[in-house]
Structure 1
Amino acid sequence: MAAPSGTLPSIAETIARHGLDARKSLGQHFLLDPAICARIAAQPGDLTGRHVLEIGPGPGGLTRALLDTKAASVTAVEIDRRAIAALAELQAAYPDRLRVIEADALKLDTATLLPAPRVVVANLPYNIGSPLLVRWMQEAACFKALVLMFQQEVAERITAAPDSEGYGRLSVLAQWRCRCAMLLRLPPGAFTPPPKVHSAVVGLTPHPDPPSPALFASLERVTAAAFGQRRKMLRGSLKSLGEADRLLDEAGIAGDRRAETLSVAEFDRLAQGLLARSL
Protein backbone atom coordinates (compact mmCIF):
# COMPACT_ATOMS: atom_id res chain seq x y z
CA MET A 1 0.00 0.00 0.00
CA ALA A 2 1.60 3.25 -1.13
CA ALA A 3 1.40 6.19 1.28
CA PRO A 4 0.00 9.46 -0.05
CA SER A 5 2.56 11.80 -1.56
CA GLY A 6 2.37 15.06 0.36
CA THR A 7 -0.07 16.22 3.01
CA LEU A 8 -3.65 15.22 2.44
CA PRO A 9 -6.31 17.68 3.66
CA SER A 10 -9.09 16.31 5.85
CA ILE A 11 -12.31 15.44 4.10
CA ALA A 12 -14.08 18.20 6.05
CA GLU A 13 -11.57 20.75 4.70
CA THR A 14 -12.07 19.40 1.19
CA ILE A 15 -15.86 19.70 1.40
CA ALA A 16 -15.67 23.25 2.77
CA ARG A 17 -13.14 24.37 0.17
CA HIS A 18 -15.24 23.17 -2.75
CA GLY A 19 -18.69 23.98 -1.36
CA LEU A 20 -19.60 20.35 -1.84
CA ASP A 21 -23.08 20.07 -0.36
CA ALA A 22 -24.99 16.90 -1.28
CA ARG A 23 -27.57 17.41 -4.02
CA LYS A 24 -30.91 15.64 -4.00
CA SER A 25 -31.10 15.79 -7.80
CA LEU A 26 -28.02 13.55 -7.97
CA GLY A 27 -29.22 11.17 -5.25
CA GLN A 28 -26.23 12.17 -3.10
CA HIS A 29 -25.85 11.18 0.55
CA PHE A 30 -22.18 11.32 1.48
CA LEU A 31 -20.57 8.62 3.59
CA LEU A 32 -17.79 10.34 5.51
CA ASP A 33 -17.19 8.38 8.75
CA PRO A 34 -13.70 6.81 8.34
CA ALA A 35 -14.57 3.78 10.48
CA ILE A 36 -17.70 2.95 8.47
CA CYS A 37 -15.87 3.52 5.18
CA ALA A 38 -13.10 1.19 6.32
CA ARG A 39 -15.65 -1.52 7.19
CA ILE A 40 -17.16 -1.29 3.71
CA ALA A 41 -13.75 -1.32 2.02
CA ALA A 42 -12.93 -4.50 3.95
CA GLN A 43 -16.03 -6.41 2.78
CA PRO A 44 -14.56 -7.79 -0.49
CA GLY A 45 -11.67 -9.32 1.48
CA ASP A 46 -8.04 -8.95 0.50
CA LEU A 47 -7.82 -6.46 -2.37
CA THR A 48 -4.13 -7.03 -3.07
CA GLY A 49 -3.60 -6.75 -6.81
CA ARG A 50 -7.27 -5.97 -7.46
CA HIS A 51 -8.48 -3.02 -9.54
CA VAL A 52 -11.42 -1.36 -7.81
CA LEU A 53 -14.26 0.56 -9.45
CA GLU A 54 -16.17 3.11 -7.37
CA ILE A 55 -19.28 4.92 -8.62
CA GLY A 56 -20.36 8.25 -7.14
CA PRO A 57 -17.45 8.89 -4.77
CA GLY A 58 -18.56 12.43 -3.90
CA PRO A 59 -15.88 14.06 -1.72
CA GLY A 60 -14.02 10.74 -1.43
CA GLY A 61 -14.77 9.26 1.99
CA LEU A 62 -14.96 5.69 0.74
CA THR A 63 -12.28 6.42 -1.87
CA ARG A 64 -9.80 7.19 0.92
CA ALA A 65 -10.66 3.92 2.65
CA LEU A 66 -10.16 1.97 -0.58
CA LEU A 67 -6.79 3.65 -1.13
CA ASP A 68 -5.83 2.56 2.39
CA THR A 69 -6.18 -1.08 1.29
CA LYS A 70 -3.69 -2.96 -0.88
CA ALA A 71 -5.78 -2.49 -4.03
CA ALA A 72 -3.61 -2.04 -7.11
CA SER A 73 -5.74 0.87 -8.27
CA VAL A 74 -9.02 2.68 -7.72
CA THR A 75 -11.05 4.12 -10.59
CA ALA A 76 -13.67 6.59 -9.38
CA VAL A 77 -16.51 7.61 -11.73
CA GLU A 78 -18.26 10.86 -10.82
CA ILE A 79 -20.72 13.08 -12.67
CA ASP A 80 -20.67 16.07 -10.28
CA ARG A 81 -18.00 18.57 -11.36
CA ARG A 82 -17.71 19.97 -7.83
CA ALA A 83 -16.73 16.51 -6.63
CA ILE A 84 -14.28 16.13 -9.51
CA ALA A 85 -12.43 19.19 -8.25
CA ALA A 86 -12.44 17.85 -4.69
CA LEU A 87 -11.17 14.46 -5.82
CA ALA A 88 -8.32 16.12 -7.72
CA GLU A 89 -6.60 16.73 -4.38
CA LEU A 90 -6.87 13.04 -3.56
CA GLN A 91 -5.65 12.10 -7.02
CA ALA A 92 -2.61 14.34 -6.57
CA ALA A 93 -1.78 12.47 -3.37
CA TYR A 94 -2.13 9.05 -5.06
CA PRO A 95 -1.09 9.77 -8.68
CA ASP A 96 -0.24 6.14 -9.48
CA ARG A 97 -3.25 4.48 -7.86
CA LEU A 98 -6.28 6.76 -8.27
CA ARG A 99 -7.95 7.61 -11.57
CA VAL A 100 -10.95 9.95 -11.59
CA ILE A 101 -13.34 9.89 -14.56
CA GLU A 102 -16.03 12.52 -15.08
CA ALA A 103 -18.90 10.61 -16.65
CA ASP A 104 -22.40 9.24 -16.27
CA ALA A 105 -21.90 5.69 -14.97
CA LEU A 106 -25.03 4.51 -16.80
CA LYS A 107 -23.38 5.39 -20.12
CA LEU A 108 -19.98 3.80 -19.46
CA ASP A 109 -18.81 0.33 -20.43
CA THR A 110 -17.59 -0.36 -16.92
CA ALA A 111 -16.48 -3.91 -17.74
CA THR A 112 -13.65 -2.60 -19.94
CA LEU A 113 -12.89 0.52 -17.91
CA LEU A 114 -10.18 -1.10 -15.79
CA PRO A 115 -7.96 -4.18 -16.03
CA ALA A 116 -8.74 -7.52 -14.41
CA PRO A 117 -9.15 -8.66 -11.70
CA ARG A 118 -11.96 -6.15 -11.14
CA VAL A 119 -13.97 -5.43 -7.98
CA VAL A 120 -16.77 -2.89 -7.58
CA VAL A 121 -17.15 -1.14 -4.20
CA ALA A 122 -19.58 1.76 -4.15
CA ASN A 123 -22.06 3.81 -2.16
CA LEU A 124 -24.38 4.08 -5.14
CA PRO A 125 -26.44 7.22 -5.71
CA TYR A 126 -30.02 6.23 -4.88
CA ASN A 127 -31.41 7.24 -8.26
CA ILE A 128 -29.19 4.94 -10.35
CA GLY A 129 -28.59 1.94 -8.06
CA SER A 130 -31.11 -0.49 -9.56
CA PRO A 131 -30.41 0.31 -13.25
CA LEU A 132 -26.67 -0.05 -12.63
CA LEU A 133 -27.17 -3.40 -10.90
CA VAL A 134 -29.12 -4.79 -13.86
CA ARG A 135 -26.36 -3.57 -16.21
CA TRP A 136 -23.68 -5.21 -14.09
CA MET A 137 -25.58 -8.49 -13.94
CA GLN A 138 -25.28 -8.66 -17.72
CA GLU A 139 -21.51 -8.45 -17.41
CA ALA A 140 -21.08 -10.02 -13.96
CA ALA A 141 -18.42 -12.47 -15.19
CA CYS A 142 -16.08 -9.49 -15.62
CA PHE A 143 -16.00 -8.88 -11.86
CA LYS A 144 -14.55 -10.86 -8.96
CA ALA A 145 -17.01 -9.29 -6.55
CA LEU A 146 -19.38 -6.36 -6.11
CA VAL A 147 -19.97 -4.65 -2.76
CA LEU A 148 -22.77 -2.13 -3.20
CA MET A 149 -24.71 0.25 -0.97
CA PHE A 150 -28.43 0.65 -1.66
CA GLN A 151 -31.51 1.89 0.12
CA GLN A 152 -32.33 -0.92 2.54
CA GLU A 153 -35.58 -1.68 0.72
CA VAL A 154 -33.69 -2.29 -2.52
CA ALA A 155 -31.04 -4.37 -0.73
CA GLU A 156 -33.78 -6.53 0.78
CA ARG A 157 -35.32 -7.03 -2.66
CA ILE A 158 -31.97 -8.16 -4.09
CA THR A 159 -31.50 -10.78 -1.36
CA ALA A 160 -35.17 -11.80 -0.91
CA ALA A 161 -36.19 -15.46 -1.03
CA PRO A 162 -39.17 -16.81 -3.01
CA ASP A 163 -42.56 -16.38 -1.37
CA SER A 164 -41.38 -13.32 0.58
CA GLU A 165 -42.68 -9.78 0.26
CA GLY A 166 -39.59 -8.33 -1.41
CA TYR A 167 -39.05 -11.13 -3.93
CA GLY A 168 -39.28 -9.85 -7.48
CA ARG A 169 -37.55 -9.25 -10.77
CA LEU A 170 -34.43 -7.74 -9.17
CA SER A 171 -34.13 -10.72 -6.81
CA VAL A 172 -34.25 -13.21 -9.67
CA LEU A 173 -31.81 -11.37 -11.95
CA ALA A 174 -29.27 -10.81 -9.16
CA GLN A 175 -29.47 -14.30 -7.64
CA TRP A 176 -29.41 -15.96 -11.07
CA ARG A 177 -26.03 -14.35 -11.74
CA CYS A 178 -24.53 -14.04 -8.25
CA ARG A 179 -24.42 -15.33 -4.72
CA CYS A 180 -26.03 -12.44 -2.84
CA ALA A 181 -25.67 -11.60 0.84
CA MET A 182 -26.67 -8.72 3.09
CA LEU A 183 -23.42 -7.50 4.68
CA LEU A 184 -24.15 -4.31 6.63
CA ARG A 185 -27.13 -2.16 7.57
CA LEU A 186 -26.62 1.55 8.21
CA PRO A 187 -28.96 4.10 9.82
CA PRO A 188 -29.69 7.48 8.22
CA GLY A 189 -27.33 9.20 10.67
CA ALA A 190 -24.33 7.51 9.06
CA PHE A 191 -24.71 9.84 6.05
CA THR A 192 -24.44 13.55 5.31
CA PRO A 193 -27.15 14.67 4.91
CA PRO A 194 -29.16 11.85 6.55
CA PRO A 195 -31.57 10.24 4.05
CA LYS A 196 -35.14 9.47 5.08
CA VAL A 197 -34.52 5.72 4.84
CA HIS A 198 -32.06 3.15 6.15
CA SER A 199 -29.34 1.82 3.84
CA ALA A 200 -27.64 -1.54 3.47
CA VAL A 201 -24.56 -3.03 1.83
CA VAL A 202 -25.00 -6.10 -0.37
CA GLY A 203 -22.21 -8.43 -1.44
CA LEU A 204 -22.52 -10.13 -4.84
CA THR A 205 -20.15 -12.88 -5.95
CA PRO A 206 -20.68 -13.83 -9.60
CA HIS A 207 -21.37 -17.47 -10.45
CA PRO A 208 -19.06 -19.15 -12.99
CA ASP A 209 -20.24 -19.98 -16.51
CA PRO A 210 -22.00 -16.77 -17.54
CA PRO A 211 -25.17 -17.08 -19.67
CA SER A 212 -25.30 -15.89 -23.24
CA PRO A 213 -26.64 -12.38 -23.85
CA ALA A 214 -29.65 -14.00 -25.55
CA LEU A 215 -30.48 -16.07 -22.46
CA PHE A 216 -30.11 -13.02 -20.22
CA ALA A 217 -32.51 -11.11 -22.47
CA SER A 218 -34.90 -14.05 -22.34
CA LEU A 219 -34.87 -14.05 -18.54
CA GLU A 220 -35.49 -10.30 -18.53
CA ARG A 221 -38.57 -10.84 -20.71
CA VAL A 222 -39.90 -13.64 -18.51
CA THR A 223 -39.41 -11.77 -15.23
CA ALA A 224 -40.83 -8.53 -16.64
CA ALA A 225 -43.98 -10.33 -17.76
CA ALA A 226 -44.35 -12.45 -14.61
CA PHE A 227 -43.81 -9.68 -12.07
CA GLY A 228 -45.43 -6.99 -14.18
CA GLN A 229 -48.75 -8.61 -13.31
CA ARG A 230 -47.72 -10.44 -10.15
CA ARG A 231 -51.28 -10.79 -8.83
CA LYS A 232 -52.21 -12.88 -11.83
CA MET A 233 -51.60 -16.60 -12.22
CA LEU A 234 -48.68 -17.32 -14.50
CA ARG A 235 -50.90 -18.62 -17.30
CA GLY A 236 -52.30 -15.08 -17.45
CA SER A 237 -49.23 -12.97 -16.74
CA LEU A 238 -47.09 -14.81 -19.32
CA LYS A 239 -49.66 -14.53 -22.13
CA SER A 240 -47.73 -11.65 -23.67
CA LEU A 241 -44.88 -14.09 -24.39
CA GLY A 242 -47.16 -16.29 -26.48
CA GLU A 243 -48.30 -19.88 -25.84
CA ALA A 244 -47.98 -19.45 -22.06
CA ASP A 245 -49.52 -22.85 -21.25
CA ARG A 246 -47.04 -24.66 -23.46
CA LEU A 247 -44.11 -22.72 -22.03
CA LEU A 248 -45.19 -23.57 -18.49
CA ASP A 249 -45.86 -27.24 -19.30
CA GLU A 250 -42.42 -27.68 -20.86
CA ALA A 251 -40.84 -26.12 -17.76
CA GLY A 252 -42.89 -28.36 -15.45
CA ILE A 253 -44.56 -25.38 -13.75
CA ALA A 254 -48.26 -25.25 -12.91
CA GLY A 255 -50.10 -22.40 -14.61
CA ASP A 256 -52.07 -21.50 -11.46
CA ARG A 257 -48.92 -20.48 -9.59
CA ARG A 258 -47.88 -16.84 -9.19
CA ALA A 259 -44.51 -15.26 -9.95
CA GLU A 260 -43.40 -14.81 -6.34
CA THR A 261 -43.62 -18.58 -5.68
CA LEU A 262 -41.11 -19.57 -8.37
CA SER A 263 -37.49 -20.32 -7.53
CA VAL A 264 -34.63 -18.82 -9.52
CA ALA A 265 -34.08 -22.24 -11.09
CA GLU A 266 -37.69 -22.34 -12.28
CA PHE A 267 -37.35 -18.89 -13.85
CA ASP A 268 -34.22 -20.18 -15.57
CA ARG A 269 -36.22 -23.06 -17.08
CA LEU A 270 -38.82 -20.64 -18.39
CA ALA A 271 -36.09 -18.42 -19.90
CA GLN A 272 -34.42 -21.44 -21.51
CA GLY A 273 -37.76 -22.53 -22.97
CA LEU A 274 -38.57 -19.09 -24.32
CA LEU A 275 -35.13 -18.83 -25.93
CA ALA A 276 -35.41 -22.28 -27.49
CA ARG A 277 -38.72 -21.30 -29.07
CA SER A 278 -37.08 -18.32 -30.80
CA LEU A 279 -34.17 -20.29 -32.31
Structure 2
Amino acid sequence: MSRYGVVDVGSNTIHLLVGEVEGGEVLPVTGEKFSARLGAGVEKTGRLEEERLLLAAEAINFFARIASLNGAPSPEVLATSAVRDAANGAELVERVGETTGLKMRLISGQKEAELGFRGALSALQERPEKVVVVDLGGGSAQLIFGDRAGEIEERVSLPLGTNRTTERFVRADPPTDEELEELRGHVAGMLPGWDVGGAPIVAVGGSARAMLKITSDALTVERLWRLSAEIRTRPSGLLAREHGLTPERARVLPAAVTTLVTIMEVYGEQELTVARGGIREGTLLALAERGEI
Protein backbone atom coordinates (compact mmCIF):
# COMPACT_ATOMS: atom_id res chain seq x y z
CA MET A 1 0.00 0.00 0.00
CA SER A 2 1.32 3.45 -0.92
CA ARG A 3 2.30 5.88 1.79
CA TYR A 4 1.86 9.63 1.66
CA GLY A 5 3.30 12.43 3.73
CA VAL A 6 2.49 16.04 4.50
CA VAL A 7 4.26 18.72 6.50
CA ASP A 8 1.68 21.30 7.60
CA VAL A 9 3.37 24.61 8.45
CA GLY A 10 0.84 26.36 10.66
CA SER A 11 0.94 29.63 12.54
CA ASN A 12 1.39 27.89 15.91
CA THR A 13 2.69 24.43 15.15
CA ILE A 14 4.45 22.53 12.38
CA HIS A 15 2.99 19.04 11.96
CA LEU A 16 4.11 15.95 10.09
CA LEU A 17 1.71 13.18 9.11
CA VAL A 18 2.67 10.05 7.20
CA GLY A 19 -0.09 7.61 6.46
CA GLU A 20 -1.83 5.19 4.15
CA VAL A 21 -5.32 5.56 2.71
CA GLU A 22 -7.84 2.75 2.55
CA GLY A 23 -11.55 3.04 1.82
CA GLY A 24 -11.54 6.81 2.16
CA GLU A 25 -9.94 6.61 5.59
CA VAL A 26 -6.48 7.81 6.62
CA LEU A 27 -4.45 5.21 8.50
CA PRO A 28 -1.65 7.09 10.30
CA VAL A 29 1.84 5.59 10.25
CA THR A 30 3.68 8.30 12.15
CA GLY A 31 3.22 11.89 13.18
CA GLU A 32 5.33 14.60 14.75
CA LYS A 33 4.82 18.20 15.80
CA PHE A 34 6.97 21.17 16.73
CA SER A 35 5.77 24.42 18.27
CA ALA A 36 7.58 27.11 16.27
CA ARG A 37 4.88 29.78 16.77
CA LEU A 38 5.79 31.03 13.32
CA GLY A 39 2.90 33.49 13.28
CA ALA A 40 3.91 35.27 16.49
CA GLY A 41 4.13 38.98 15.80
CA VAL A 42 2.93 38.80 12.18
CA GLU A 43 -0.28 40.66 13.06
CA LYS A 44 1.78 43.59 14.39
CA THR A 45 4.88 43.63 12.18
CA GLY A 46 3.77 41.88 9.01
CA ARG A 47 6.92 39.75 9.07
CA LEU A 48 8.13 36.38 10.32
CA GLU A 49 10.68 36.73 13.10
CA GLU A 50 14.14 35.65 11.92
CA GLU A 51 14.72 33.19 14.77
CA ARG A 52 11.34 31.53 14.23
CA LEU A 53 11.94 31.38 10.49
CA LEU A 54 15.22 29.53 11.06
CA LEU A 55 13.63 27.14 13.56
CA ALA A 56 10.80 26.41 11.13
CA ALA A 57 13.21 25.64 8.28
CA GLU A 58 15.15 23.23 10.52
CA ALA A 59 11.96 21.51 11.70
CA ILE A 60 10.66 21.08 8.15
CA ASN A 61 13.99 19.60 7.05
CA PHE A 62 13.93 17.16 9.99
CA PHE A 63 10.31 16.16 9.33
CA ALA A 64 11.05 15.59 5.63
CA ARG A 65 13.78 13.14 6.63
CA ILE A 66 11.41 11.34 9.03
CA ALA A 67 8.81 11.10 6.26
CA SER A 68 11.37 9.56 3.92
CA LEU A 69 12.44 7.01 6.54
CA ASN A 70 8.77 6.02 6.90
CA GLY A 71 8.12 5.44 3.21
CA ALA A 72 7.06 8.90 2.03
CA PRO A 73 10.19 10.37 0.40
CA SER A 74 8.51 13.42 -1.13
CA PRO A 75 6.02 14.82 1.39
CA GLU A 76 3.85 17.78 0.51
CA VAL A 77 4.98 20.86 2.43
CA LEU A 78 2.05 23.23 2.90
CA ALA A 79 2.26 26.74 4.30
CA THR A 80 -0.88 28.45 5.53
CA SER A 81 -1.80 31.82 6.99
CA ALA A 82 1.38 32.90 8.79
CA VAL A 83 3.66 32.39 5.79
CA ARG A 84 1.00 33.50 3.33
CA ASP A 85 0.47 36.82 5.11
CA ALA A 86 4.08 37.66 5.99
CA ALA A 87 6.07 40.04 3.82
CA ASN A 88 9.11 37.77 4.11
CA GLY A 89 7.28 34.45 3.74
CA ALA A 90 9.14 33.78 0.48
CA GLU A 91 12.37 33.53 2.49
CA LEU A 92 11.09 30.42 4.26
CA VAL A 93 9.96 28.91 0.96
CA GLU A 94 13.45 29.49 -0.46
CA ARG A 95 15.24 28.02 2.56
CA VAL A 96 13.09 24.91 2.57
CA GLY A 97 13.82 24.39 -1.12
CA GLU A 98 17.55 24.77 -0.54
CA THR A 99 17.74 22.39 2.44
CA THR A 100 15.24 19.70 1.43
CA GLY A 101 14.86 19.98 -2.34
CA LEU A 102 11.10 20.13 -1.72
CA LYS A 103 8.81 22.87 -2.92
CA MET A 104 6.79 24.50 -0.16
CA ARG A 105 3.31 25.38 -1.38
CA LEU A 106 1.72 28.62 -0.21
CA ILE A 107 -1.86 27.41 -0.38
CA SER A 108 -4.77 29.83 -0.52
CA GLY A 109 -7.35 30.14 2.21
CA GLN A 110 -9.85 28.54 -0.18
CA LYS A 111 -7.64 25.48 -0.73
CA GLU A 112 -6.97 25.29 3.00
CA ALA A 113 -10.72 25.24 3.59
CA GLU A 114 -11.27 22.51 0.99
CA LEU A 115 -8.60 20.22 2.44
CA GLY A 116 -9.71 20.85 6.01
CA PHE A 117 -13.33 20.03 5.16
CA ARG A 118 -12.38 16.78 3.52
CA GLY A 119 -10.17 15.77 6.42
CA ALA A 120 -12.82 16.63 9.00
CA LEU A 121 -15.46 14.56 7.21
CA SER A 122 -13.13 11.56 7.09
CA ALA A 123 -12.78 11.66 10.88
CA LEU A 124 -16.50 11.65 11.66
CA GLN A 125 -18.01 8.32 12.67
CA GLU A 126 -21.42 9.47 11.44
CA ARG A 127 -21.66 12.04 8.69
CA PRO A 128 -24.63 14.41 8.93
CA GLU A 129 -26.48 15.35 5.75
CA LYS A 130 -25.12 18.91 6.01
CA VAL A 131 -22.31 20.23 8.19
CA VAL A 132 -20.41 23.41 9.00
CA VAL A 133 -16.70 22.79 9.57
CA VAL A 134 -14.64 25.40 11.43
CA ASP A 135 -10.89 24.94 11.00
CA LEU A 136 -9.51 27.31 13.63
CA GLY A 137 -5.80 27.87 13.17
CA GLY A 138 -3.35 30.37 14.54
CA GLY A 139 -3.55 32.88 11.70
CA SER A 140 -6.92 32.27 10.12
CA ALA A 141 -10.21 30.44 10.49
CA GLN A 142 -11.73 28.52 7.60
CA LEU A 143 -15.51 28.09 7.60
CA ILE A 144 -16.94 25.54 5.20
CA PHE A 145 -20.58 24.54 4.68
CA GLY A 146 -21.16 21.37 2.72
CA ASP A 147 -22.72 17.93 2.60
CA ARG A 148 -21.77 14.41 3.64
CA ALA A 149 -20.49 13.60 0.14
CA GLY A 150 -17.88 16.33 0.42
CA GLU A 151 -19.59 18.83 -1.88
CA ILE A 152 -18.90 22.36 -0.66
CA GLU A 153 -21.68 24.93 -0.89
CA GLU A 154 -19.99 27.85 0.90
CA ARG A 155 -16.46 28.53 2.09
CA VAL A 156 -14.61 31.51 3.49
CA SER A 157 -11.20 32.19 5.04
CA LEU A 158 -11.28 34.82 7.78
CA PRO A 159 -8.44 36.51 9.73
CA LEU A 160 -9.72 35.07 13.01
CA GLY A 161 -6.88 32.73 13.94
CA THR A 162 -6.07 32.46 17.62
CA ASN A 163 -2.62 34.06 17.41
CA ARG A 164 -4.01 36.97 15.46
CA THR A 165 -7.01 37.62 17.71
CA THR A 166 -4.98 37.18 20.90
CA GLU A 167 -2.38 39.71 19.74
CA ARG A 168 -5.07 42.17 18.72
CA PHE A 169 -7.61 41.87 21.54
CA VAL A 170 -6.17 39.98 24.52
CA ARG A 171 -3.55 42.06 26.28
CA ALA A 172 -4.07 40.87 29.87
CA ASP A 173 -3.21 37.40 31.17
CA PRO A 174 -5.72 36.17 32.17
CA PRO A 175 -7.90 38.23 29.82
CA THR A 176 -10.52 40.66 31.04
CA ASP A 177 -14.23 40.38 30.36
CA GLU A 178 -14.03 43.57 28.31
CA GLU A 179 -11.30 42.19 26.05
CA LEU A 180 -13.22 39.01 25.25
CA GLU A 181 -16.47 40.91 24.76
CA GLU A 182 -14.71 43.13 22.22
CA LEU A 183 -13.41 40.02 20.47
CA ARG A 184 -16.88 38.48 20.50
CA GLY A 185 -18.31 41.49 18.70
CA HIS A 186 -15.47 41.43 16.18
CA VAL A 187 -16.03 37.75 15.36
CA ALA A 188 -19.81 38.15 15.05
CA GLY A 189 -19.34 41.08 12.69
CA MET A 190 -17.06 39.12 10.34
CA LEU A 191 -19.12 35.96 9.93
CA PRO A 192 -20.98 35.50 6.63
CA GLY A 193 -24.76 35.44 6.75
CA TRP A 194 -25.16 31.87 5.58
CA ASP A 195 -28.42 29.99 6.02
CA VAL A 196 -27.09 26.66 7.26
CA GLY A 197 -30.51 25.26 8.16
CA GLY A 198 -29.54 23.94 11.58
CA ALA A 199 -26.51 22.00 10.31
CA PRO A 200 -24.22 20.78 13.10
CA ILE A 201 -20.89 22.54 13.63
CA VAL A 202 -17.64 20.56 13.68
CA ALA A 203 -14.41 22.19 14.84
CA VAL A 204 -10.90 21.04 13.96
CA GLY A 205 -7.48 22.34 14.96
CA GLY A 206 -5.22 22.31 17.99
CA SER A 207 -7.18 24.85 20.01
CA ALA A 208 -10.43 22.95 19.54
CA ARG A 209 -8.75 19.72 20.66
CA ALA A 210 -7.22 21.51 23.65
CA MET A 211 -10.70 22.17 25.03
CA LEU A 212 -11.17 18.42 25.38
CA LYS A 213 -8.21 18.32 27.78
CA ILE A 214 -10.04 20.67 30.12
CA THR A 215 -13.55 19.25 30.03
CA SER A 216 -15.15 15.95 29.04
CA ASP A 217 -18.61 17.52 29.07
CA ALA A 218 -20.67 18.01 25.92
CA LEU A 219 -19.53 21.27 24.33
CA THR A 220 -22.80 23.15 24.46
CA VAL A 221 -23.03 26.93 24.21
CA GLU A 222 -23.73 27.07 27.94
CA ARG A 223 -20.75 24.82 28.78
CA LEU A 224 -18.40 26.81 26.58
CA TRP A 225 -19.38 30.09 28.21
CA ARG A 226 -18.74 28.47 31.61
CA LEU A 227 -15.41 27.20 30.29
CA SER A 228 -14.59 30.71 29.15
CA ALA A 229 -15.37 32.04 32.62
CA GLU A 230 -13.24 29.32 34.24
CA ILE A 231 -10.13 29.94 32.16
CA ARG A 232 -10.45 33.70 32.67
CA THR A 233 -9.60 33.13 36.34
CA ARG A 234 -6.21 31.50 35.59
CA PRO A 235 -3.04 32.92 34.04
CA SER A 236 -1.98 30.95 30.98
CA GLY A 237 1.03 29.42 32.77
CA LEU A 238 -1.18 27.92 35.47
CA LEU A 239 -3.74 26.75 32.90
CA ALA A 240 -0.97 25.00 30.98
CA ARG A 241 0.36 23.19 34.06
CA GLU A 242 -3.09 22.12 35.26
CA HIS A 243 -4.19 20.60 31.95
CA GLY A 244 -1.02 19.52 30.16
CA LEU A 245 -1.14 22.25 27.53
CA THR A 246 1.79 24.06 26.00
CA PRO A 247 2.11 27.62 27.34
CA GLU A 248 1.53 28.92 23.81
CA ARG A 249 -1.72 26.97 23.47
CA ALA A 250 -2.94 28.04 26.90
CA ARG A 251 -2.29 31.69 26.03
CA VAL A 252 -4.55 31.62 22.96
CA LEU A 253 -7.26 29.37 24.41
CA PRO A 254 -9.52 32.17 25.73
CA ALA A 255 -9.66 33.69 22.24
CA ALA A 256 -10.32 30.25 20.73
CA VAL A 257 -13.24 29.48 23.04
CA THR A 258 -14.74 32.93 22.49
CA THR A 259 -14.45 32.58 18.71
CA LEU A 260 -16.01 29.11 18.58
CA VAL A 261 -18.93 29.85 20.88
CA THR A 262 -19.68 33.06 18.97
CA ILE A 263 -19.81 31.08 15.72
CA MET A 264 -22.24 28.65 17.36
CA GLU A 265 -24.49 31.47 18.53
CA VAL A 266 -24.50 33.26 15.17
CA TYR A 267 -25.53 30.08 13.32
CA GLY A 268 -27.96 28.92 15.99
CA GLU A 269 -26.25 25.65 16.92
CA GLN A 270 -26.30 24.52 20.55
CA GLU A 271 -23.55 21.89 20.55
CA LEU A 272 -20.07 21.65 19.06
CA THR A 273 -18.32 18.49 17.86
CA VAL A 274 -14.52 18.36 17.79
CA ALA A 275 -13.04 16.15 15.04
CA ARG A 276 -9.51 14.80 14.88
CA GLY A 277 -9.17 15.17 11.12
CA GLY A 278 -8.25 18.32 9.22
CA ILE A 279 -5.95 19.71 6.57
CA ARG A 280 -3.33 16.97 6.92
CA GLU A 281 -5.80 14.14 6.54
CA GLY A 282 -7.48 15.97 3.66
CA THR A 283 -4.13 16.32 1.93
CA LEU A 284 -3.36 12.59 2.19
CA LEU A 285 -6.81 11.75 0.82
CA ALA A 286 -6.27 14.08 -2.15
CA LEU A 287 -2.82 12.63 -2.84
CA ALA A 288 -4.16 9.08 -2.76
CA GLU A 289 -7.06 9.94 -5.05
CA ARG A 290 -5.40 12.09 -7.71
CA GLY A 291 -1.70 12.34 -6.92
CA GLU A 292 -1.87 16.04 -6.12
CA ILE A 293 -3.76 18.48 -3.93
Between Structure 1 and Structure 2, whose CA radius of gyration is higher?
Answer: 1
Structures share a fold, TM > 0.5? no
TM-score (norm: length of structure 1): 0.31
